[in-house]
Amino acid sequence: MLKKKEKYIVAVVGATGAVGREMVQTLEEREFPIEKLRVFASERSEGKKIEYKDKDIPVEVLKDDSFEGIDIALFSAGAERSKIWAPVAVKSGCVVIDNSSQWRMDPDVPLVVPEVNPDDIKWHKGIIANPNCSTIQMVVVLKPIHDVAKIRRVVVTTFQSVSGTGQKAMDELLQQTTDILNFKNVKCNVYPYQIAFNVLPHIDKFLENGYTKEEMKMVNETKKIMGDNSIRVTATTVRVPVFRGHSESVNIETERKLTANEVRAILSGAPGIIVFDVPHKNVYPIPINVAGRDETYVGRIREDESIENGINMWIVADNLRKGAALNAVQIAERLIS
């Protein structure tokens, strides 16, 4: 569908958002072959400028003919916008890489993490979905283990930073912290309760089954990306007062027994992963060190002594990079390779 070229006309939709800005920066850093970059956002951002390669690119508002001549569009303007505009872009002959939850579970749309299921890109019909941030960093680690020992069950608890919700949530954490230290009243606009100095067991909306949408994304998207519906997954997703970087406590049960050292060896040779695990020297991944990095970090690798074939791990990645912008740009790189 995408014609091979020297350089491509690329668009970022939602370019003023926390993820959109990261997308523009990642395209520049990785020297994606771009002939012309166009950036889109809502009316309130019209006239703003986005910096790319030392040039100011004006923010445009989407119109029915906006995508004409555009080869690849990276979307990060939320599910409602993707629902409306991705089909418009596809009709114009553009390939869409969508960061929202809108198309992820659609059977006609591949859901891709390049380290895990790169070949799924091939069967796209115009839209390729970028998975949920917490799911991406988990499957990067699960895949090489699954290939060796077959994972039967996953129990995951996440510790997710506020940047997943966007810049307005980062502003709220900073404002609440400042207000508390100045003995002022705390205002809550983005989250239902104070997030500063607190922990909320709630990400995205609650569903009929008592789980949140974020938790069910981890269950369903993991199976689709790994191409294996037999893996049982259960998740609890939690918001913590961290600006950037999601952490996860992951317990797995495998068909074949693996020692902690075998897991370390498997992961050390796997793409996109850094094993950071020297407990007696206090070496383990933490979000403030992983923020700004491309790899998924794994530490605290231990055998689960309560079952036959169990492993516990601590997984940390930058949610705006591997969890969103970087994964989308990696998909685009595969698409043109």
Q: Which of 24, 38, 81, 195 binds ligand 25A (CB under 6 A)?
A: 81
Q: Which does 40 bind (CB under 5 to 8 A by kind): ligand 25A, ligand L14, none?
A: ligand 25A
Distance of CA 276 to the CA centre of its chain: 21
Q: Which does 310 bind (CB under 5 to 8 A by kind): ligand 25A, ligand L14, none?
A: none
Residue 222 contacts residue 233 (beta carbons within 8 Å): yes
Q: Which of 25, 137, 165, 194 binds ligand L14 (CB under 6 A)?
A: 165
In this structure, what token pair is assigned to residue 16?
């003023």
Work out how close the CB of 50 gets to ligand 25A at its nearest, in angstroms, rounded to a whole number. 9
Cα 230 from Cα 244, distance rounded (Å): 32
Residue 264 contacts residue 277 (beta carbons within 8 Å): yes
Site residues for ligand L14, 103-142, by CB under 6 A, read 132-133
What character string, x for contact with ligand L14 (CB under 6 A) and - otherwise, covers 145-164? ---------------x---x
End-to-end CA distance of the chain: 13
The Cα-based distances of 112 to 122, 136, 258, 297 in angstroms read: 11, 9, 27, 20
Distance of CA 181 to the CA centre of its chain: 32
Site residues for ligand L14, 190-219, by CB under 6 A, read 203-204, 214, 217
Q: Tell me whether residue 202 is one of the annotated catalytic residues.
A: no
Burial of 201 per CB tally in 10 Å (0-12, 13-18, 19+): exposed
Residue 97 contacts residue 128 (beta carbons within 8 Å): yes
Cα 163 from Cα 141, distance rounded (Å): 22
Q: Which does 125 bind (CB under 5 to 8 A by kind): ligand L14, ligand 25A, none?
A: none
3-state secondary structure (DSSP) of residue 56: strand
What character string, x for contact with ligand 25A (CB under 6 A) and - otherwise, covers 283-302? --------------------
Cα 138 from Cα 223, distance rounded (Å): 12
Q: Kindly name the residue from 94, 124, 146, 246 that is annotated as catalytic.
A: 246
Q: Which does 91 bind (CB under 5 to 8 A by kind): ligand L14, ligand 25A, none?
A: none
What character string, x for contact with ligand 25A (CB under 6 A) and - otherwise, covers 108-147? ----------------------------------------
Q: Kindly name the residue from 94, 124, 133, 146 that is annotated as catalytic.
A: 133
Our finding on whether 82 is near ligand L14 (CB under 6 A) is: no
Q: Which residues are catalytic?
A: 133, 246
* Residues found near ligand L14 in the complex (CB under 6 A): 101, 132-133, 160, 164-165, 203-204, 214, 217
